[in-house]
Structure 1
Amino acid sequence: MRLRVDLLPREELVYPDVVLVVDVIRATTTAACFLEAGAEALYLVPSLEAARAFKDEDVVLAGEAGGLRPSGFDLGNSPREALEAPVGGKVVVMATTNGTKAAHLAGMTAKHVLLASLFNAHAAARKALELATEEVAILCAGKEGRVGLDDVYTAGVLAEYLGLMREVEPDDGARIALAVRRAHPDPLEALSLSAAALALKGVGLEADIPFCAQVAKSAQVPLLSGRVGEALIFKRG
């Protein structure tokens, strides 16, 4: 089984099989938390404007601009908030700066797209191996076009666990991610050093960082199941 890690989204990337999309601070962590809270489905859209187009009494709008809840949205992009949100049986429409866009890139070519984080790392890795026939790819969302330490570290945790379950052939991206993981045994230390974490501290949301650093706390794996308009529909995998 080939194991591939792409450190940043690029338009020319093509995925023949399974992709795990990672935006650990915070979109893919928050997505798992919405499913934990009972959401029926997650609609990932590429922009705030696209999210607003879905506004309805049975729809919850969640997202962020500069880390904060956008005007007119019901919720921000905090996994702590998502876990406690009254979203049972509802559709959550999400738009974020990095993670939702990376998911759209993966969805253009991949057979299967899953949202992965440290929070659901083991469940996501197991589901990826269950679905894959030739390759598991991990796509790091990064931060505004730059490589993110937090996402690369998470890719390393995923790669490590995938390697424990099945013999894999890692590419150079996977080797880089594994090296970052081994250099930082403590997930909180690794995430706290990232630009994404520093940005959260700047807007008073630093409590989200230790939450995102929790490993294998959820069995919920958002799996791409369809599309409607500009939205990718994710449900429990």
Structure 2
Amino acid sequence: MSSKPTLHTVLSPRLLDIYDMPNSIVVIIDVFRATSTIATALYNGAGRIIPVDSVNKCIELGKLTGGITAGERDGKVIEGLAHGNSPAEYPRSFIEGKTLVLTTTNGTKLLHMALNNGASEIVTGSFPNLSAVCEHLLSAGKNVILGCSAWKDRFNLEDTLFAGAVIHNIKKYFTIHCDSSLMAEDIYNLHKDDIYSFIRNTTHWHRLASYGLEADLEYCVTADVANILPIYRNGDLVAHNR
């Protein structure tokens, strides 16, 4: 019997509750664009990010903390919030030392679901912090659940592609008897040399590109441009080991 920890890939939040959260590190994946934005803001010196699952809570916590409120629905800044969900909105000159209160359609919702299901640890991942995620999972030596935020509970390719990238890098250290993980790695291996052109086929690309966000989307599939590990602690996402 293998003593290696296990790794599973959850393709939609709808499937989350059939996996063993309490004994696993859960990686929240929302490539376009929440977890790319989270990594970028922390990499650029944000003090903390408070992920919330509703607009009202975002506004309320923004007032309580003096933080910057941010969130989008359908590619547009939500009325009542100050900023959107673009990584480009959070350069060091703007975000350093500040609190960001963030709500998104898919990623922050999945994070709270994982929390409510008793995940032993929650981190967030996307291509901009691919190496930091892989290094942490290897050093922790615990069971792993790669949680794809999907889009309104529907499977999406970009989150699965990132799960495949993680698996490609760390699989020899894990026991993987999980068809969704095998599929994710196959997708990544098929397209790792043409990611920029491949993502143009995705439904989320077409949805967001129609708002003029192509540069955002290319950034979100660029490896290690914000290579820091966001980890959830006491209600906040903070940079691990900072």
* TM-score of the alignment, normalized to the shorter chain, above 0.5: yes
Quote the residue 1:196 is aligned against.
204
Query: Which has a greater percent of helix?
Result: 2
Q: Displacement, 1:9?
A: 0.8
Mark the runs of 5 or more structure 2 residues left unpaired by the alignment. none
2:17 aligned to which of 12, 17, 21: 12
Q: Deviations over 1:132-171 (max 9, x none)?
A: 43x111000001121001111111001111125x244241
2-structure distance, mates of 1:184, 1:170: 23
Paired residues, number: 230
2-structure distance, mates of 1:201, 1:20: 26
Aligned residue for 2:105, secondary structure, equals: coil
1-structure distance, mates of 2:124, 2:93: 19
Quote the residue 1:230 is aligned against.
none
TM normalised by structure 2 equals 0.89
2-structure distance, mates of 1:12, 1:183: 30
Give 1:1-237 correspondences, 5 Å limit.
1-10=5-14, 12-13=17-18, 14-15=20-21, 16-56=23-63, 58-83=66-91, 86-108=94-116, 109-133=118-142, 135-163=143-171, 166-185=173-192, 186-227=194-235, 233-237=236-240
1:51 is matched by which residue type in structure 2?
C
TM normalised by structure 1 equals 0.91
CA RMSD of aligned residues (A): 1.6
Q: Displacement, 1:84?
A: 5.0
1-structure distance, mates of 2:104, 2:25: 22
Q: Displacement, 1:202?
A: 1.5
2-structure distance, mates of 1:216, 1:190: 19
Q: Displacement, 1:85?
A: 5.8
2-structure distance, mates of 1:83, 1:160: 30
Mark the runs of 5 or more structure 1 residues left unpaired by the alignment. 228-232
